[in-house]
Structure 1
């Protein structure tokens, strides 16, 4: 997996390991930690071993992901004070997964941002209502 930026962290030099456990990493891009009010604090939780989608995770990796998600939320809550979260997986390219290494998006949300109040179902509501 030489071309995978989650297996080879030096391929994306602006990403940082914020925290880790035995099976997973919580990564944040520098610009998501410090800029862009809409996505400040955003990050991804990735298994250390290359797994293409969430469906490939072992039970230990799944448990470690949940544990790290709780830790990441506590960190983001303290540092950025968001008003809510979107948390989710994209699986396979047709569903929006552009890096074929499982990664759980952790997206803090803030009052007053352009898409405040529009969650994951927003895509479905806007797509279906235009038919």
Structure 2
């Protein structure tokens, strides 16, 4: 079975990257809950966070403050939510560990179920803006 995130990481599928290092990538969610919604993903394929060595979990989560700050600066968000699901019953859609950083806006409230479908150009522009603020 092919993994969508592994395909994005290997650049075999489009991804709107805002950060990459030797072990992680961060890219915009293609179906964001709010503008600037990103996924923080380990490059190595782990299905669930319980499959990861503890130090790798720590590395993954250590990326969040810097990324969240850049997103908030770039988008004008006033807060952010984190989400990390493990297994189908927990609504993990892609079976590759990832952490959602979802910017929140005072005037919009924190709705978890709405999704938008921005164009590839909109995502490229937003990714570029966030990268400039890292």
State the TM-score, normalizing by the size of structure 1.
0.73
- Aligned positions, number: 110
d(CA) in 1 for partners of 2:91 and 2:38?
16
Q: What residue in structure 1 maps to residue 28 of structure 2?
A: 28
Shift of 1:118: 5.9
Query: Which structure has the bigger radius of gyration?
Result: 1
Extract unaligned runs of 5+ from structure 2.
Answer: 113-134
State the Cα deviation string for residues 104-131 of structure 1 (Å, max 9, x = none): 0110011121xx1567xxxxxxxxxxxx
Per-residue CA deviation, residues 3-57 of structure 1 (Å, 9 max, x unaligned), is: 21111114642x222102232111114675xxxxx61110111110000011122
For 2:19, the equivalent position in structure 1 comes to: 19
Structure 1 unaligned regions, length at least 5:
33-37, 120-131
Q: Which residue number corresponds to residue 105 of structure 1?
A: 100
CA contact (8 A) 2:68 2:80 kept: no
The answer on whether the counterparts of 1:21 and 1:64 sit within 8 Å (CA) in structure 2 is no
CA distance in 2, matches of 1:76, 1:98: 23
Matched with 2:90 is: 95
Change (3 A) 1:8 1:117: closer
Match of 2:4 in 1: 5
RMSD of aligned Cα (Å): 2.2
Flag the structure with more relative contact order, 1 or 2, with Cα contacts below 8 A and sequence separation at least 6: 2
